[in-house]
Amino acid sequence: MTDKEYRELSEKSEKLAQNKLYEEYINYVYKIVYNKLRSCASNEDIEECVSDVFLAVFLNYHNNEGTDGDLKGYIGTIASRKAINKYHSLMAKSGRTVSSEEYFADIADSKRIEEEAEKEELRDIMLRVINSLGEPDTTIVFQKFYFNRSSKEIAQKLSMTAGAVRVRCKRALERLEKLLSKEGITLKEGF
C-alpha cells in the first residue's frame, strides 16, 4: 500500500484504510519490534508495542506531511523508535541500566533489522507472485533463477523440450514483470 492509496482509501473509509494498512504491514512491524525486544520482553510486551506502533501511525500519519509519501519508511521508523523506547522502559523497570554502547548498538541494529524485514517482505511477495504464474511456469522460474538449472535440465524434469522451456520462461518473465510492477517492484529487485 502506498501513501497515495492509503490517503485515498482514508477519504472513503478511515476504518477500511486502517484495516488494510494493518494487514499489509503487521508482519513488517512485528519483525522490527520482535528483533529489538526479544531479549528482554514478554510476548505481551511485544504485542503491546506493535499495537502502540499502529496507534501512533493511525493518529499521526494524516497530519505528518514531512514523510515524502514514504509510508513504509514512516512505519518502520515509528516501529523502531517505539521498540527502542519500550526496551529502555523495560530495562529501567528491571533496574538494569543501559550503557551508551548498548544504546548505540540498538540504533545501528535497528537499521539492519529494518533492512532484513524489507528483504523478507520482498521474498514473500516474489514467492506469492511467482506461484500465481501457474504450472509449469512457476517450476520453470524457480528452477532457472533460484536453482540455476539449465533449460535442458528443466526440460528433462518437466518432460518438455529445451526450446519449449526457453519460450515458456521468456513469457513467464514478461508476465512476472507486469505482476511485480503492480506491487511496485521491478524484476531486477526481485532477483
pTM score of the predicted model: 0.52
* CATH of 1-113 given 3.30.70, 1.10.10, 1.10.1740, 3.40.50: 1.10.1740
Residue range(s) occupied by CATH 1.10.10.10 in the chain: 132-191
Are the CB atoms for 57 and 75 separated by under 8 Å? yes
CATH number of 132-191: 1.10.10.10
Residue range(s) occupied by CATH 1.10.1740 in the chain: 1-113
Kindly report which listed range (13-17, 63-67, 154-158, 183-187) carries the lowest average pLDDT score: 63-67
Q: Would you state the torsion angle of the CA atoms of residues 53, 115, 185, 22, taken in this order, to the nearest 10 degrees?
A: -20
Instruction: Please tell me the predicted confidence (pLDDT) of residue 100.
Output: 47
Instruction: Please tell me the predicted confidence (pLDDT) of residue 73.
Output: 81
Are the CB atoms for 137 and 172 separated by under 8 Å? yes
Are the CB atoms for 74 and 82 separated by under 8 Å? no
Are the CB atoms for 66 and 17 separated by under 8 Å? no
